[in-house]
Amino acid sequence: MTSASVQPPLWTKPLARRWPGLALARPTMMIALLLGAGGGALLGAGMLADGSYWTVLAGILVYGLGMGTIFPTMFGAAGTGVAAGEQGTAGGMANTALQIGTSAGLAVLVGVANSGLGDLTGEALRVATAGGLRTAVYIAAGFTLLGLLGALALPRLRTAPVAPVDPATPAAPADNAINGAAV
């Protein structure tokens, strides 16, 4: 079942290569974020002390579909309109932002999930753990919805094509200054 949550990039990545600029990235990101948030809400609803894999299955599938669609879309949008010589920088910045945001978010969510467990044992610990995980997943779904603000900030259409870099044309001379000081 885990493979179901990683399959969307297999079919979304070829589509991302054919997008005319950002024309489809914005609505695709919005739909994917809604699916991810909805999947998170379904996942949280199924996290019960007496739940099973079947109570979280719908959430796993919907969340996987949404998040599996958002990643190739996000990286495609990050490189759109960027000169060929700067593609690595754009991809690196997008990847770094993703990793830092994920790390900080995970730290907060682990704190939320584990708060209030204290000296609990047995059935009380099991119920409190399920409740903490459910709360953390609901918070994550809420933050996923905040990603819609980022998707709304994307331009509807790319305004001007970026001129391709001609490998036969020498690059512009580098500025021999660092922070305004001559080198």
For position 131, what pLDDT does the model report? Answer: 95
Q: Strand, coil or helix: what is 178? A: strand
Q: Which residues of 36-63 are buried (b: 16+ CB within 10 A; e: fewer)?
A: bbbbbbbbbbbbeeeeeeeebeebbbbb
Strand pairing partners for 182? 177
Residue 32 and residue 26 in contact, taking contact as beta carbons nearer than 8 Å: no
The residue-averaged pLDDT of 167-180 equals 55
pLDDT digits (tens, 9 = 90+) for 91-143: 999 999 999 999 999 999 999 999 999 899 999 999 999 999 999 999 999 99
pLDDT attached to residue 183: 47
From the CB of residue 149, how many other CB atoms can be counted at a distance below 10 Å?
9
pLDDT the model gives residue 14:
58
> What phi and psi, each to the nearest 5 degrees, are found at residue 173?
-60, 140
Distance CA 72, CA 147 (A): 15
User: For all residues of the chain together, what is the average pLDDT?
Assistant: 81
Q: What span, in angstroms and rounded, lies between the C-alpha atoms of 52 and 2?
A: 15
Q: Which residue has the tokens 């490998």?
A: 167
Per the model's pLDDT, the better-predicted residue between 151 and 167 turns out to be 151
